Amino acid sequence: MRTGFVSSDLASGDARVPDHTGLSKEAINRDFPILSRKINGKRLVYLDSAATTQKPQCVIDRIESYYASQNANVHRGLHTLAEEATSAFEATRDKIASFIGGVRREEIIYTRNATEAINLVAQSWGRKHIRENDRIVITRMEHHANLVPWLVLAEETGAELEYIPVDSQGRLILDNISNIIDSRTKIVALTQMSNVLGTINPVDEIIEVAHRRNAMVLIDGAQSVPHLPVDVKALDVDFMAFSAHKMLGPTGIGILYGRESLLDRMEPLIYGGEMISEVRYDSADWAELPWKFEAGTPNIAGAIGFAPALDYLNSTGMDKIREHEIELTEHALDRLAGLKFIRIYGPTSSEQRGGIISFVDSEIHPHDLAQFLDASGIAVRAGHHCAQPLMGLLGVNSTARASFYIYNTKDDIDELVSALRDARRYFIND
């Protein structure tokens, strides 16, 4: 992969601090065609990667070449195309298994997205193992995707849903953790990185407490797997969910990792073709893992197109990506702190957070702010970020959110900061 890093750019004579850790400008332009687009006559500054990331050319090309020369259904044809499609489809599974720390391919289930992966656990594992008066533990910073499925399961089963609280800096409060995760607790489900606050949670600590209680742990890795080196084996986690589209891959393909011994004993959620080993008129046997959970024709192009995304991340290096995002986040926190009218949410130390910054202007509503930024070519998100209860906790209805990835630069952040100043002039003659 051609993703040369610039070691240092000090010779450029630029007064601004250069990026030491990011992709070179050439690599960004070459690999991410969309970033050359103009929005409203301005250079696109894409700061919404927490919603979905942009796709490198290699991913776009792979999807095209699959449809142009290999298109076939998987697992059911004996012809050349079907063999090629199946082998590419399954090869991605192997790449994913090694990407998250070298798990077994049987433990990687394709879903549509992280949301579906979490629902699969809540409904298949949950309905079988959760009883009245059991406890399900989540946190107060979950995305709706890791809240609503548990809310429903608790209601259906009569189990109790308990929350790990969050402090004013947006960090989990763990003082009381061994009372919250008590002996009735059957599962703990939490995000490794908050999509609103950027907080990186100490999941290893929580996993340890949960396992001492014989509770299972599901990690919502939708924000962490794309941005941090994540080793499922080292974490010793039971389930993990994430989405390809938040890590340079196509939309419509998500992953559930599950410990084989657990997946083995779980019932499928969807029945039909591809997930059976033998069907009779009066009964059927399920296929082996992982196919037991993959009924119907899957998102073949999505899975195949995910492979070059993983290659891109691997060749760049997850450590490097993390380092780059720390640098960007520090720069952003520093520059935003210079704007007295901007309030930032979440931890103040870049070690405890990823490249996601939620903020509000003291006078301009996030919606109006995002609209103004868009007119300047800057894409940010405004709203409750699928975390309505957390918004209540922060005492706001909505925030604006800037989030970074591999292709962002300090220039992007400087443009954001300058546009935030312009917005004051535009809306309140400041």
Partner 1 sequence: MTEQLDDMYRDIIMEHYRYPRGHKEISEPDLANQGHNPVCGDVTEIKLTLDGDRIEDISVNCVGCAISVASGSMLADMIEGKTISDVRKIAEVVRALIKGEEIDTDLDLGDLEALEGVRNFPVRIKCALLSWTTLVDAIEAREVGQTVEASTTE
**Which residues in this chain contact partner 1 in the complex, by CB under 8 A?**
40-41, 365-368, 371-372, 375, 382-384, 388, 391, 396-398, 426-427
Q: Report the partner that residue 384 touches, choosing among partner 1, ligand PLP, none (CB closer than 5 to 8 A by kind).
A: partner 1
Nearer to partner 1, 312 or 372 (CB): 372
Nearer to ligand PLP, 130 or 225 (CB): 225
Residue 241 forms beta bridges with which residues? 220, 256
Q: How far is CA 93 from CA 52, 257, 279, 310, 376, in A?
A: 21, 11, 26, 11, 40
Q: Report the partner that residue 146 touches, choosing among ligand PLP, partner 1, none (CB closer than 5 to 8 A by kind).
A: ligand PLP
CB of 430 to partner 1, least distance (A): 13
Distance separating alpha carbons of residues 63 and 304, to the nearest angstrom? 7
Q: Report the partner that residue 367 touches, choosing among partner 1, ligand PLP, none (CB closer than 5 to 8 A by kind).
A: partner 1
CB of 370 to partner 1, least distance (A): 9
- Those residues whose C-beta lies under 8 Å from the C-beta of residue 50, and which sit 6 or more positions away, are 195, 223, 246, 356, 381, 385, 401, 403
Q: Report the partner that residue 37 touches, choosing among partner 1, ligand PLP, none (CB closer than 5 to 8 A by kind).
A: none
Nearer to partner 1, 85 or 373 (CB): 373
Q: Report the partner that residue 143 touches, choosing among partner 1, ligand PLP, none (CB closer than 5 to 8 A by kind).
A: ligand PLP
Copy the structure tokens of residue 198. Answer: 């950027």
Q: How far is CA 243 from CA 28, 271, 379, in A?
A: 22, 23, 21
CB of 215 to partner 1, least distance (A): 33
Q: Does residue 342 contact residue 359 with C-beta atoms inside 8 Å?
A: yes
CB of 356 to ligand PLP, least distance (A): 9
Cα 314 to its chain centre, rounded Å, is 17
Cα 63 to its chain centre, rounded Å, is 21
Nearer to ligand PLP, 230 or 364 (CB): 230
Near ligand PLP by CB under 6 A: residue from 49, 119, 195, 316: 195
Of 208-247, binders to ligand PLP (CB under 6 A) are 220, 222-223, 243
CB of 381 to ligand PLP, least distance (A): 10
Which residues participate in catalysis according to the annotation? 386
Applying CB under 6 A, which residues contact ligand PLP?
113-115, 143, 145-146, 191, 195, 220, 222-223, 243, 254, 386
